[in-house]
Structure 1
Amino acid sequence: MEELAYIPSPSRGVIHLGPIPLRGYAFCIIIGVFVAVWLGNKRWIARGGRAGTVADIAVWAVPFGLVGGRLYHVITDYELYFSAGRDWVDAFKVWQGGLGIWGAIALGAVGAWIGCRRRGIPLPAYADAIAPGIAFAQAIGRWGNWFNQELYGRETHLPWALHITSSEGGRVPGYYHPTFLYESLWCIGVGFLVIWADRRFKLGHGRAFALYVAAYCVGRGWIEYMRVDDAHHVLGLRLNDWTAMIVFLLAVLYIVVSAKNRPGREAVVEPGAASDVGASDEGASDGEGVSDGEADGAGEPKASGEQAEAEVEDDAEVKDEAKDEVKDEAGSGTTKS
């Protein structure tokens, strides 16, 4: 049955620029990282941190996150790489897809902790700043699955069905739920939710990040339930469903305990950042003093100009008086003759 409306799949997920392959999956990951760092930097500065700190720590967090995401995928889907007829070398081919968000967040947090420790920054404060950016990065990264024609759901005839055309890797061409799109939209909503809640409730000490984790797990649970790709099942549920439920409970527990023990938000997120701002303000004040002096100097020519105008008026009055005297003398002379 040919659907009248559907989401087409790309004919290929890689474009070759000479000998260099440009992969859509990799582009989505890279763009997502840049968005997360950009937004995280803005939020970090707003919380009192220095510009550039988020990027410096991301140098540690991103590589750790990529390794963690790949490890989680390989461990939970080991049969794809280590079973009979499989090549274990494929486990290193990240560009073919396969990054588990759970492993990426877990090991990425280790990398972020190392970066924060080197700069004397509390990890929870950093996590709060980058939380919505991570959600938006996931939303962008999910489109990499679209390029690879993977991670789709059950068959459907809805107008937004995803048309799978590839038959590689056990795929069956047809029309399926675009679960990559569902998760992308859900992550966008999570990002805005965290931004709103952070402004409304002044979340601190890691609670904004915990809210992101909890909200993401809710969406991942029902989206995972729709997927039809191979996965390990425990008590009738996919492994990632159980992971989402456990992580959700841990995130909610953290929010409750943290709010009780450490209410409010950190007063200082980066040591020394406040003194930098103070030095900048002092420099700006000095600049204002110079401007005032220049303004005073500019007033002197104005005063001199007014004095010159007064002198011209005095000269004009003297000339008028002289003319009157000449007329009077002339008038007197005529009478005498």
Structure 2
Amino acid sequence: MSHLALPAYLPSPTVNAIRIGPLPIHFYALCILAGIGVAMWLTSRRWARRGGKPGEVPDVVLWAVPFGILGGRIYHVVTDPELYFLPGKNPWNAIAIWDGGLGIWGAVALGGVGAWIGCRRAKASLPAFADAVAPGLLFAQALGRLGNWFNNELYGDPTTLPWGLEIHQMDPATGGAAAGPNGNPIVIGYFQPTFLYEALWCTLGGIAILVLSRRFRLPRGAEFSLYVMIYTAGRFVIELMRSDYANLILGLRVNTWVAGLVFLGGAVGFALAMMRARRAAQVQLHRTGTPALEDAGSP
């Protein structure tokens, strides 16, 4: 398929993996690992400043990450089963996580279960840990979206904007772009780079939480609720822009509905956290005449 190139556009990689001997190293997996590393580093610093013990963050992460990856893949496969289980499809591809396909909702849900196990073993507070990890999660998700860039996936409608994303026809057998008769990579077209929009939104959201947590004494639970609200607000809009295949409910993508519902949950959580803090401050003021200073981040 041939398309006229735009005068200015964002290029996409023509390979999504490198090989070291017989072992393929997928860039998608490297982006996920880079995100986990950044989240661990930032969370460790924030946890230590809040009185956490050294080594607790890696101990919790050892439980949260495997659970999160498993949950993310299960959500993806359950919500898009036709990609793997219809006639002509290979069911074993359901475990081919390196080809892309992690549902953030399943990752956070089951990752939270892993974090709960890790916090119980470390005798640490799960709500406090969730607040400490909140901005790191957004930075990790931003880095993870770069994996979609390498895979030439998760893009929006065709566009002529100067930041339109060039998308190649990828060959799963080779891990690279399919070549045309002239030997050049086949270009499908130029599309809205929704992966980039989400990466930028997550980065700005992570910075916003860091700034707010430094300027204000946010009550326990507020930072994680902000993470939920920030991410889902952006995801709701970006899902409306995406043109890749997805199952629909009443004309909207499944993830659009989920993003809206989870946003409402985050908003309720944030409101409850603020109400609890205000109530505690009023009780403290009534009893002692001095305002309460809740250490929201204390483990």
In the superposition, the TM-score normalised over structure 1's length comes to 0.77
**Mapped partners of 1:167, 1:51: distance in 2:** 44
Deviation readout 1:225-284 (Å, 9 max, x if unpaired): 1101111111221111110110000101011112212456447734xxxxxxxxxxxxxx
Q: Percent identity?
A: 52
Are 1:181 and 2:210 counterparts? Answer: no
Aligned twin of 1:14: 17
- Residues 75 and 106 of structure 2 are in contact (CA less than 8 Å); yes or no, is this contact kept in structure 1? yes
Question: Contact between 1:179 and 1:226, CA under 8 Å: does it hold in 2?
Answer: yes
Aligned-pair CA distance for 1:51: 2.3
Contact kept, 8 Å, 2:69 with 2:102, in 1: the verdict is yes
Instruction: Report the alpha carbon displacement of residue 155 of structure 1 after superposing the two structures with TM.
Output: 0.3
- Tell me the residue number matched to 1:230: 245
User: For 1:197 and 1:149, how far apart are their aligned partners in 2?
Assistant: 35
Amino acid at match of 1:38: W
Structure 2 counterpart of 1:176, one-letter code: F
1:68 is displaced (CA, Å) by 0.4
Q: Which amino acid aligns with 2:268?
A: L
Structure 2: gaps spanning 5 or more residues: 173-185, 279-292
Rounded to whole Å, the distance in 2 between the matches of 1:64 and 1:200 is: 33
Quick one: distance in 2 between partners of 1:65 and 1:140?
16
| Residue deviations 1:9-31 (CA, integer Å, cap 9, x gap) | 11110111111211110100000
> What is the RMSD computed on CA atoms of the aligned residues?
1.6
Aligned to 2:96: 93
Residue by residue over 1:271-316, the C-alpha shift from the partner in whole angstroms, topping out at 9 and shown as x without a partner, is xxxxxxxxxxxxxxxxxxxxxxxxxxxxxxxxxxxxxxxxxxxxxx
Whether the 8 Å CA contact 2:167–2:189 is kept in 1: the answer is yes
- Taking the TM superposition and a 5 Å limit, the aligned residue runs for 1:27-106 are 27-106=30-109
- 138, 142, 155: which one aligns with 1:139: 142
Match of 1:203 among 215, 218, 224: 218
Do the aligned partners of 2:132 and 2:297 also contact (CA within 8 Å) in 1? no
SS of match in other structure, 1:173: strand
1:1-337 residue pairs with structure 2 within 5 A?
A: 1-166=4-169, 173-262=188-277, 265-266=294-295, 269-270=298-299
Checking the alignment, whether the CA contact within 8 Å between 1:135 and 1:190 is kept in structure 2 is yes
How far did residue 85 of structure 1 move? 1.1
Distance in 1 between residues matched to 2:150 and 2:238, nearest whole Å = 19
**2:20 is matched by which residue type in structure 1?**
L
Q: Which is helix-richer, 1 or 2?
A: 1
Q: Quick one: structure 1 residues 59 and 190, their matched pair in 2 at CA, closer, same or farther if it must change by over 3 Å?
A: same
Cα shift at 1:201:
2.3
Which string of whole-angstrom CA distances, capped at 9 and with x for unpartnered residues, describes residues 137-161 of structure 1?
Answer: 0000100000111101100011111
Q: TM-score by structure 2 length?
A: 0.87
Structure number with greater CO (CA < 8 Å, separation at least 6) is 2
Kindly state the Cα deviation for residue 92 of structure 1 after the two structures are TM-superposed: 0.7
Higher alpha-carbon Rg? 1
Letter paired with 1:191: G
8 Å contact kept, 1:121–1:269:
no
Partner SS state of residue 24, structure 2: strand
Task: State the secondary structure of the residue aligned to 2:219.
Answer: coil
Kindly provide the amino acid, as one letter, of the partner of residue 221 in structure 2. Answer: G
User: What amino acid is the match of 1:230?
Assistant: Y
List runs of 5+ in structure 1 lacking aligned partners. 271-337
- C-alpha separation in 2, matches of 1:173 and 1:250: 39
Comparing 47-56 and 224-233, the one that deviates more = 47-56
Work out whether residues 217 and 295 of structure 2, in 8 Å CA contact, stay in contact via their aligned partners in 1. Answer: no
